[in-house]
């Protein structure tokens, strides 16, 4: 009824057997009439690009992200960035295909929906990878560029805020990316202008289907250039005023870090008959070159620093070189921003010097405080990516300074902070220091790099309205 089985049913179903019998005018078999039996024909088998082991890694990480963050849904995809092969893809919660909830059609439809290809959302800061790539490749920005962030940037009289109210002050290009500084990316977008920036947006595949072969794929939303003002363009620079699907974003980031080639994602490897003969074979397909190899190398280097030094620390994997970008996106309901409802995401790639795999995880409407918006997804990308690298035989190449995370549950936040400091780790929390820790990320005994943030959850942890990026005011009596 849905998914790949529906799309490729003509290959899978085969043909029923038939018995052809000579009959009289009343359609009764003639006693000595001729009869022919046509044997049924088996359908073909479809072999997917997905790896069931990596799929299990991704599903485990998503289920944990869903439970810990009390989220509505969690989605993830792992792709081979050099070929476009989809190695794993999942939306949680899901259902047992052997026992679907057919008694509740609405629930069945919701659980069957492949959000990775069907849902368009504002990507937020993960889109900054595209802005950075375009700005560097167009020559409008170089590594020598510097910015000054005072907490906002004014475009045609409109003051557009940075996520950090006090601003980041003076910063280099690399530091601006590490800080995920909105004003810096607004200036990058404006320096390119509408025509140039839109050329790159379309070249990266936004606004059109990726051609993945998965049913239900949508094209996202890219407003036509003629309707875009400079204010809109500035917002697109940091991931607002544009809507993308997760598979579009993952495919585009693959191009940004693999040397600049946009590869068509695909999930069907081959179609074979019952004797094993290949009827159809899919091969990696390069759609177009988007950016130059030297630009891609610069992007990789900067994004690796985001994980090693910047906001993506919680995605670092001891002994491995990892790059990536965090993102916190607003959600809309009835055309308006839904207060307190966000999508937290992280997209990472490894090995950072010569990427093989890209992993994107989105956590939809986490209900444990938006103070963790930029880190809600990163620990789970780390978890899935580390297991994937080890599964494919990639051994640690760096001598990392690592520590084991202590068990903090049952302690007060104040006690947990002291123990973490002793271990060389940092505490990230929202609630009062007297509150009791009920959960933690990373988990007890997990080995992490020294200096990693540990997220502390308590029974009181809830959505923090102050971090939605919206202007707030006290209503007078």
**Residue 168 backbone phi and psi in degrees, to 5:** -105, -5
Angle between helices 128-138 and 293-308 (to 10 degrees): 140
The CB-side HSE value for 131 (13 A sphere, CA atoms) comes to 33
Could you give the CA distance from residue 14 to residue 11 in angstroms, rounded to a whole number?
Answer: 7
Write out the two tokens for 136: 């560097």
Rounded to 10°, the helix 52-68/378-391 angle is: 160
Query: What per-residue confidence (pLDDT) applies to 463?
Result: 47
C-alpha span between 457 and 473 (Å, rounded) = 27
Element (H, E) at 328: strand 323-333
Position 401 scores a pLDDT of 78
52 is a catalytic site residue: no
Distance (Å, whole) CA 423 – CA 58:
29
Contacts of 339 (CB under 8 A, 6+ apart): 465, 468, 470
pLDDT of residue 221: 94
Please choose, from the candidates 207, 83, 209, 185, the residue with its C-alpha nearest in 3D space to the C-alpha of residue 134. 185
Task: Please list the ranges in the chain whose pLDDT falls under 50.
Answer: 370-371, 373, 463-469
**Active-site position among 125, 316, 345, 374:** 125
Instruction: Say what the pTM is.
Output: 0.85
Q: Please state the φ and ψ torsions of residue 447, each to the nearest 5 degrees.
A: -90, 125
Q: How many CB atoms lie within 10 A of CB 111?
A: 16
Task: Give the pLDDT confidence score for residue 466 in this predicted structure.
Answer: 38
């Amino acid at each position: 009824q849905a998914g790949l089985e529906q799309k490729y049913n003509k290959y899978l179903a085969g043909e029923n057997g038939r018995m052809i019998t000579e009959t009289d005018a009343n359609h009764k078999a003639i006693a000595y009439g001729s009869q022919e039996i046509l044997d049924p024909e088996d359908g073909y088998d479809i072999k997917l690009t997905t790896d069931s082991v990596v799929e299990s890694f991704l599903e485990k990480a998503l289920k944990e992200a869903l439970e810990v963050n009390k989220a509505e849904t969690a989605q993830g995809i792992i792709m081979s960035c050099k070929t476009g092969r989809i190695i794993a893809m999942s939306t949680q919660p899901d259902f047992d295909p052997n026992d679907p909830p057919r008694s509740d059609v609405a629930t069945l439809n919701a659980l069957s929906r492949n959000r990775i290809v069907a849902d368009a959302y504002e990507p937020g800061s993960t889109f900054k990878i595209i802005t950075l790539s375009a700005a560097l490749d167009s020559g409008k920005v170089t590594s020598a560029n510097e910015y000054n962030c005072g907490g906002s940037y004014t475009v045609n009289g409109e003051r557009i805020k940075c996520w950090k109210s006090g601003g980041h002050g003076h910063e280099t290009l690399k530091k601006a990316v590490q800080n995920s500084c909105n004003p810096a990316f607004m200036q990058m977008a404006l320096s390119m202008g509408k025509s140039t920036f839109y050329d790159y947006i379309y070249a990266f595949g936004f606004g059109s289907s990726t051609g993945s072969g998965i049913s239900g794929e949508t094209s996202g939303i890219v407003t036509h250039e003629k309707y875009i003002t400079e204010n809109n363009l500035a917002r697109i620079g940091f991931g607002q005023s544009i809507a993308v699907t997760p598979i579009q974003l993952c495919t585009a980031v693959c191009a940004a870090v693999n040397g600049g080639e946009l590869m068509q994602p695909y999930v069907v490897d081959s179609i074979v008959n019952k004797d094993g003969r290949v009827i159809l074979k899919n091969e990696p397909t390069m759609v177009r070159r988007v950016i130059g190899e030297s630009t891609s190398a610069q992007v990789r280097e900067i994004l690796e620093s985001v994980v090693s030094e910047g906001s993506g620390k919680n995605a670092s994997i001891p002994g491995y070189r990892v790059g990536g970008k965090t993102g916190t996106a607003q959600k809309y309901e009835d055309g308006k921003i839904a207060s307190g409802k966000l999508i937290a995401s992280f997209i990472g790639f490894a090995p950072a010097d010569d990427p093989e795999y890209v992993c994107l995880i989105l956590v939809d409407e986490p209900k444990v405080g938006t103070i963790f918006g930029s880190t809600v997804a990163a620990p789970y990308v780390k978890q899935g990516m580390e297991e994937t690298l080890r599964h494919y035989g990639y051994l640690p190449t760096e001598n990392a300074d690592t520590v084991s995370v202590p068990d903090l549950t049952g302690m007060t936040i104040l006690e947990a902070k002291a123990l973490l400091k002793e271990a060389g780790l940092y505490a990230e929390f929202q609630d009062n220091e007297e509150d009791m820790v009920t959960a933690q990320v990373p988990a007890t005994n997990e080995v992490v790099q020294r200096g990693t943030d540990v997220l502390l959850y308590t029974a009181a942890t809830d959505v923090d309205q102050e971090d939605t990026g919206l202007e707030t005011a006290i209503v007078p009596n």
